[in-house]
Amino acid sequence: MRLPAAPEYLGVVRLVATGLASRLGFTLDEIEDLKIAVDELCAYLTGPQGRDGTLEIAFQIHADRIEIRGTGLFAAGHGARTDLTELSRMILDTVTDSASLEQVDGMTRFALTKSRMR
């Protein structure tokens, strides 16, 4: 999916992520964890005021997990920071199987994986 890089559109990403997780049989707690992770990583891409550009979000579904990748496609000079705070790292380590945020080929990208525990 491709959306404007503005915080007000992150609810759409959460909605899709939680809908997919629900179909995979995730528990309510696992879905809440996924929403927290999506919010945390997308917020790094958009920043609090939004950015000039778009977010490209891809979902990959497996029998027992969901993988979400996000890329910020921003105008020159509008890049996002990739240095996770200690608190953000602790949150992501708690609510995901894995999560990363990095610059690749001049674009800011994140990846997260969340597995169903049952």
pLDDT at residue 38, rounded to an integer: 96
Average pLDDT, the chain: 92
pTM: 0.91
Retrieve residue 115's tokens. 């597995």
**pLDDT score of 78 more than 70:** no
Name the band, by pLDDT with cuts 50, 70 and 90, for residue 16. Answer: very high
